[in-house]
A = this chain, B = another copy of it.
């Protein structure tokens, strides 16, 4: 796992940014210690999504923080993002890898123990365990893996593990202690009054367990 460091992985959602431009929130969060950024904008028209991806890639470049695009392989290609994150209902991994090539990061959402076992057959760059806790950001996912689920998957997965779903400064350490290589957060940073301070606080808490 050399090409990505998902220790503190910011996943965007403009709807949760309290009216602030998401690019400003991302920049603050990266200054606070975010190590990877995923642009996840489900209801964004294509050109707007593309322009936003190009803008955020430019913001991230000086920090050497990779930009990952959620679901939209076309946006990842067009904006020359560092990678793509796919879910179980997106373009199949094998096809995405064929199109993107071996040099791009591809992450895969895993929502159960059995999906995590299946993912061991694929050369994804990381798996995103979701949801660890039930969250308002993705209310359709109701079966939480919990700390125990993270621990079990960490015991057999050959992949880098990022946990997502209801993670914040209070529970981040427990997740990392259970075996996750990183945590992904949405509202804990995007909706924070001060995204830089919010990112810094989480980063410092997990820094005692991971570098």
Contacts and interface: CB of A to CB of B under 8 A. Distances in A.
Interface string A68-98: 0001111101100000000011111001100
A99 interface: yes
A72 B75 CA distance: 9
Interface stretch (A18-26, A45-53, A106-114, A157-165): A45-53
Contacts of A95: 50, 78
Contacts of A77: 73-74, 77, 99
A81 to B, nearest CB: 12
B46 A71 contact: yes
A47 B91 contact: yes
Contacts of A71: 46
Interface of A: 45-48, 50, 71-75, 77-78, 88-92, 95-96, 99
